[in-house]
């Protein structure tokens, strides 16, 4: 499918990220958000993301001027070829919104949702032409991180999933097909497990939030930027590979190293987490930290691409 007009429903962090990515790839973008200050928010977010996008490389015709903020859902989606919803994670809200969106959209427009875990069969239940409705779950910042998890509901057509994946790839993303409709999909299930363990370590006084973040960013986090868990553990098995790793370290899975049940979010635990992260930010504002994060991500992506080229490695 050819997409020229992109519509974004929601101008928050995720919605603005989609807008920034679409603009950077030379698309015309319409945006709707019920907040009274939506236009100033989305334009401010795009402007803040633009330096990183310029460094990553803009497509021909890319311009912030191709953004238009409109007053209604219907006006936002009327001419769109691809629609991306990034509304709050409330099933009742998404049900009503997608019924409205699908009635106003062109019959062949693909409708995607940024939901991080709700099931498409449920919130697309009242949609018109539900065969063209998918989930496209991105990761923050959407305008830089390439991963997008793609799945359909029980009534989604295979063609729509293929078209959605093709579109996401055309705007520089790495579409990951989720094979089954399960809560949390793939990546968030993994992230949630790590988050629960991190909260337990803070709650039990084992480590501060900063120390836990150091354990990730100076260790596995660097590996994770170019090599996933399974390949990392394959290398850990030496020349014998994964089989040796599983034989050597598999029994440890039966040891009580982890606590997969989340701790109770007491006021004390929340305070410790908030105090710890406040020390980590050290007075730096969110926008400043976002620009720092963006600089790091573009540097890592650039470095990995150069290394792949030198070694002849292709995805």
Q: How far apart are CA 61 and CA 212, in angstroms?
A: 43
pLDDT of residue 235: 84
Do the strands 147-152 and 133-137 form a parallel or antiparallel pair, or are they unpaired? antiparallel
Query: Is 187-283 in the same CATH topology as 5-177?
Result: no
Task: Tell me the pLDDT tens digit for each residue of 142-163.
Answer: 999 999 999 999 999 999 999 9
Task: Tell me the pLDDT tens digit for each residue of 246-260.
Answer: 788 778 777 777 777
Mean pLDDT throughout 257-275?
83
Sorted by where each begins, the domain ranges of the chain are 5-177, 187-283
Cβ-Cβ contacts under 8 Å for 161 (sequence gap 6 or more): 134, 150, 151, 152, 177
For residue 315, whether the previous peptide bond is cis, meaning omega lies within 30 degrees of 0, is no
Given CATH 1.10.1040.10, say whether it is the number of domain 187-283. Answer: yes
Mean pLDDT throughout 224-242?
87
Task: Tell me the pLDDT tens digit for each residue of 170-191.
Answer: 999 999 999 999 999 999 999 9
pTM: 0.92
pLDDT of residue 161: 98
- Cα dihedral angle (161, 187, 53, 82), rounded to 10 degrees? 20
- Name which CATH class applies to 5-177: alpha beta
Task: Tell me the pLDDT tens digit for each residue of 105-147.
Answer: 999 999 999 999 899 999 999 999 999 999 999 999 999 999 9
């Amino acid at each position: 499918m050819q997409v020229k007009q992109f519509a974004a429903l929601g101008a928050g962090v995720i919605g603005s990220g989609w807008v920034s990515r679409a603009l950077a790839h030379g698309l015309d973008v319409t945006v709707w958000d019920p907040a009274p200050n939506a236009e100033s928010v989305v334009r401010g977010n795009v402007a803040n993301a633009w330096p990183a996008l310029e460094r990553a490389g803009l497509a021909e015709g890319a311009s912030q001027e191709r953004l238009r903020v409109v007053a209604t859902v219907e006006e936002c989606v009327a001419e769109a070829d691809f629609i991306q919803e990034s509304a709050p994670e409330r099933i009742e809200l998404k049900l009503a919104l997608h019924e409205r969106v699908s009635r106003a959209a062109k019959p062949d427009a693909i409708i995607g949702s940024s939901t991080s875990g709700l099931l498409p069969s449920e919130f697309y239940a009242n949609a018109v032409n539900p065969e063209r409705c998918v989930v496209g779950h991105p990761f923050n910042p959407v305008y830089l991180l390439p991963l997008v998890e793609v799945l359909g509901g029980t009534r989604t057509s295979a063609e729509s999933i293929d078209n959605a994946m093709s579109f996401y790839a055309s705007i520089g993303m790495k579409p990951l097909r989720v094979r089954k409709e399960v809560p949390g999909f793939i990546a968030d299930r993994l992230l949630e497990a790590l988050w629960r363990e991190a909260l337990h370590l803070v709650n039990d006084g084992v480590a501060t939030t900063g120390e836990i973040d150091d354990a990730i960013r100076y260790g596995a986090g660097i590996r994770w930027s170019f090599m996933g868990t399974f390949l990392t553990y394959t290398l850990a098995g030496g020349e014998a590979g994964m089989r040796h790793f599983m034989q050597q370290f598999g029994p440890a899975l039966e040891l009580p190293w982890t606590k997969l049940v989340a701790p109770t979010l007491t006021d004390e635990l929340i305070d410790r987490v908030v105090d710890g992260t406040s020390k980590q930010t050290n007075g730096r504002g969110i926008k400043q930290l976002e620009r720092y994060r963006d600089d790091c991500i573009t540097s890592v992506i650039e470095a990995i691409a150069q290394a792949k080229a030198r070694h002849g490695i292709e995805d």
